[in-house]
Each structure stands twice: as C-alpha cells, then as structure tokens.
Structure 1
Amino acid sequence: MRHLLIFTCLILLGNNLPAQNVRFTTDGVIEFEKSSNMFAIMKKQMEKRTSSYMQQAYDAYKKNQPQFRVLKSTMAFSKDKTLFTPQEPDAAPRGYFFSSPLADQPNTIYTDFASGLFTARKTVFEETFLVKDSIRNINWKITNEMRTIAGYECRRANAIILDSIYVVAFYTDKIPVSGGPESFTGLPGMILGVALPHENITWFAKTVTDKTVSPNELKVPAKGKSVNNKTLRETINSALKDWGDYAQSALKAFLL
C-alpha cells in the first residue's frame, strides 16, 4: 500500500510539471503583416462605377501588380500598454497603382489598458490627427475554433464593429495582455490574427519576441490636430459628403 501511494504521488507530480513550466509572455515585440486582396477590393469599386475607364484600370492593375498588397508593422507591449507602429513599405509600387484607404496603414496607436484610454496618430489624406479617447468596447463572441499563429495556440472570436464590419480574431492566453494590431483589443489575451472577410483584409503575427521593452519603445504618439473619435468622424464625414459610396469605405478605414 505504501508503494502504491508513492507511485500515485509521483504520477500526479509528473502530470503537474508541464503546467508549472508554461511561460506567460508579458513583455515583447510582435511583427505583423497586413495583407489586402487588391484584386477583390478594386473589383468592388469597379462594380459601383460602371465605366469603361474603371474596367481598363482594373485590367491594367491585374497585369502589373500582385494580387495581395503586404504591409508590415510592429507592436511593442509591456503588461498593460501597447504601441502599434506601421513600417515603411520596402519599395514603391511600379506601373499602374490603385490606392484604397482600407489597404493603407496610416495609424500609430498607443493603448493604456490601466487607464482605459488610447492615443492614435492618424493620417487622413493630407492631414494628421491626434485622437485621444476611451478604448473601443468590442462585444466579442468566443468560439471553440483553434489555430496556431507564430507558434502560439490561438482561439477564435467574432464581433461586429463600426455597426457593419464583421471581424474574426484569434487570441492567445499565453500572452496575458488584452491587445492586438490597430485598435483590436478586449479579449483575454493577445490578438495575433485579425481578418475582415468582407473587406478582404487580414493582419497576422509573423514573429513574437519575448524581451524586456523599455519606456522608449512605448512612447505616446505626439503631433497632430487634437480630436476625439466623435470629432474625427464628424470631420471626415464633412470632408467626404460629396464622395458617394467611396466616402463610406474611406470612413471605415480611418475609424478602424
């Protein structure tokens, strides 16, 4: 009986060892890639404007440019703060080029979860805004679907933001920081993947570096016309009031 008790204790101890060795990352830097399906985005624009010029432009773009436009970014994080920073593209596109605000990456976003506030530097056409407001409250629905991203097991969650944008996100509880790319936050762990299926856009982490992050790597964005979310929306709506369907697409991009 004594031997049986000892054997049982050893088994229980062995079963607990993996859990004790699990490391939770609270500080580090994530490299993201944003991928935009430009063929699909441009085709939607073309379908709204039945002109021969748009068809010619679409054909020229497909002939000279890749289907997916890929932009890189980094996000430094430390316990209850994150800083999402877009990187400059490696090279300028050649030949005919089509631009869409949704496919661009104009936002530098600092999020402070302790205070519940964010500060974002947003470039809207030729003007730069400094947006300060409360962190967006996203009503996530967590599912049982799993996916491995950058070496982390991630769980899927779904949501609707800005009244009409369907969002699919994948988060890991092994990074216990409620952050993510751009302004996607609010899950019980770091968001390493985001897809906007109807907008044909994704963000996915490529690498996660577990390292100490200095205060210099988490500087609050500065410079720009100071506004909050409400004022920014009103300003953009006023500027784009005569732009038809394009205005709604652009507004979504600038308010993400």
Structure 2
Amino acid sequence: MFSVFAECGLHAQHARFISEGSIEFEKKINMFAQLKKNITEKNEVYMSKMYDQYVKTQPQFRTVKSTLLFSKDKSLYTPIPVTVTSQNSAFGDDPNNSQPNTIFTDFLSGLSIVQKKVFEETFIVKDSIRKITWKMTDETREIAGYQCRRANAVMLDSIYVVAFYTDEILVSGGPESFSGLPGMILGVALPHENMTWFATLVSDKTIDKTVLKAPVKGKPVNNKALNAKLNDIIERWGPQAKNMLKGFLL
C-alpha cells in the first residue's frame, strides 16, 4: 500500500462537528504501475519502448486535484482543471490516469448524477447512489487535521477499497462515488489499481446552496446503459481497453 497514507496526515487541528463546507482532494496515480498493465503480448514491442521512455523522463506519480462542496443533504465533486504538460498529456485518454468525473449526489433522495467523459463522448449517468458494503476496522489515521477510522470493501466485484472516514463531518459522502460510511470519507486507496485520493484541506465555510447543482451536459444514460456501451468498446478494442474499464466505472 502506498506510503502516501503516512504522508497525507497534517498536524492535528481538532475540528468541531460540521455539516457543510468544502474539501480539496488530491488523486495520486502510480503511472509506472499503470502503464506496465497496458503491455500485452500483441503490443509488447512498442509499448515496452514507450514504458521505458516514460520511466526515464517522467515522475512515477501523477497528481490531479478536485473539490468537494457539501451540505447536509447534497454534494458536488468537481475536477480542478490543470494546465496540459508533458506529464499529464501522455496517456490522458485512460480514465485511470486522470480525474474525469463531475458528480452530484442527493443523499435525501439517494440519487447520483455523474457527468462522465468516455473518449469523445460525454454522458450524464443518472442512477441510485452506489451501495458499498463496508467492513469496519479499529485502525485510525489523521488526515487533513481529522482523526479518521479505516473501513474496507470490495466493489464492482473485484476492486479492493481502503477508506478512512471522520465522524466529525456529519455527511456520508466522499471523493468520486465513494460514500456510505457514518461520516465523510477523507482518504481512499485502491492498492491493486495503484491510485489514492486524500483530502489536503477541509473548510467549514458556509456553502451557497445554489452552486450544488447537477451537471446537465451529456447524453442521458443509467449505469446499465453505460455498462453496455463500455462492453461494446472493450469487444472492439481488445485487452488494452479492458484495462480502462474499471477507470470508467469508478
């Protein structure tokens, strides 16, 4: 598991219980591990050369940022735009290596609305909030000044998830579509997928509720329709596209 667990905790600043505010998240991706997964028997000759060149010229970890605005019953998770550089432009079509989703969650109605880009198409995925069966542990970590408790889960049949949540933030949300714990999730690691999300700053400022709006631009689908679209892509593109499937489904 990434040493980032130990690095992401800031010095404790005991927080009062809050139910609205904003959180800045950093997603870190182990690019060396991600790119190695894309090497197959069919593409080994040229992909191995690309991998070796990347390792020589680029940092091992790519970092992308996002903001989560939340009230007691809604949240909006939005990527922070980045300036395109040689680091973040390479392999940018792979959702595992980027931060492509805008996610609106209505905790009262149990509704999730996600604006998701799949290659050249943009979708609005409207469906129920993803249900994750969490198993609590006694392990704790400090993240962004909050004491957090660890929970584990397996989602999408095969993705092992480690999450850290705080009950000092009275909202059952988190980064991306991770939620369902008795408090806000401030840290997530997918050890076998080589990526993590950690809060770097939490603010308990009052949120203008008018900004907590669902994205609207894109082709409307539900999860079932999106999965059918993705499976069609995999059948046409082969093993390399299969590696992207988990990233599109997160």
Query: TM-score with structure 1 length normalisation?
Result: 0.88
Please give the residue correspondences for 1:142-157 in structure 2 after superposition, counting only pairs within 5 Å: 142-157=136-151
Q: How many residues are aligned here?
A: 236
Report the AA paired with residue 25 of structure 2: F
Q: Does 1:189 align with 2:183?
A: yes
SS at match of 2:200: strand
SS at match of 1:46: coil
CA distance in 2, matches of 1:180, 1:165: 17
Q: CA-to-partner distance for each residue in 1:123-167, whole Å, 9 max, x for gaps?
A: 000000001000011000010000000000000000011111000
Partner of residue 201 from structure 1, selected from 195, 202, 206: 195
Aligned to 1:70: 63
CA distance in 1, matches of 2:205, 2:89: 42
Contact 2:38/2:243 (8 A) holds in 1 = no
Q: CA-to-partner distance for each residue in 1:145-194, whole Å, 9 max, x for gaps?
A: 00000000000000011111000000000001000000000000000000
Q: CA deviation at 1:239?
A: 2.4
Contact 1:61/1:96 (8 A) holds in 2 = no
CA distance in 2, matches of 1:54, 1:228: 35
SS at match of 2:76: strand
Q: Does 1:162 align with 2:156?
A: yes
In 2 relative to 1, CA 55–143 (structure 1 residues): closer, same or farther, beyond 3 Å? same
Q: CA deviation at 1:95?
A: 10
CA distance in 2, matches of 1:197, 1:28: 29
CA distance in 2, matches of 1:94, 1:86: 17
Aligned to 2:75: 82
Aligned to 2:11: none
Report the AA paired with residue 103 of structure 2: I
Report the AA paired with residue 127 of structure 1: E
Partner of residue 129 from structure 1, selected from 112, 123, 126: 123
Aligned to 2:7: none
Q: Runs of 5+ in structure 2 lacking a partner?
A: 1-13
Q: CA deviation at 1:245?
A: 2.2
Contact 2:62/2:88 (8 A) holds in 1 = no
Partner of residue 221 from structure 1, selected from 212, 215, 229: 215
CA distance in 2, matches of 1:241, 1:132: 25
Q: CA deviation at 1:48?
A: 5.5
Identity, in percent, stands at: 60
Partner of residue 29 from structure 2, selected from 36, 50, 60: 36
Contact 2:112/2:129 (8 A) holds in 1 = yes
Aligned to 2:18: 25
Q: CA-to-partner distance for each residue in 1:5-55, whole Å, 9 max, x for gaps?
A: xxxxxxxxxxxxxxxx97211110000000000011111222565622112
Report the AA paired with residue 113 of structure 2: T
C-alpha RMSD of the superposition: 1.7
Moved more, 71-80 or 209-218: 209-218
Query: TM-score with structure 2 length normalisation?
Result: 0.90
Greater Rg by CA: 1
Q: Does 1:174 align with 2:168?
A: yes
Aligned to 1:245: 239
SS at match of 1:253: helix
SS at match of 2:235: coil
SS at match of 1:195: strand
Report the AA paired with residue 238 of structure 1: D
Higher normalized contact order (CA 8 Å, seq sep 6+, divided by chain length): 2
Q: Runs of 5+ in structure 1 lacking a partner?
A: 1-20
Runs of 4+ in 1 over 3 A off after TM superposition: 47-50
More helix by share: 1
CA distance in 1, matches of 2:234, 2:224: 16
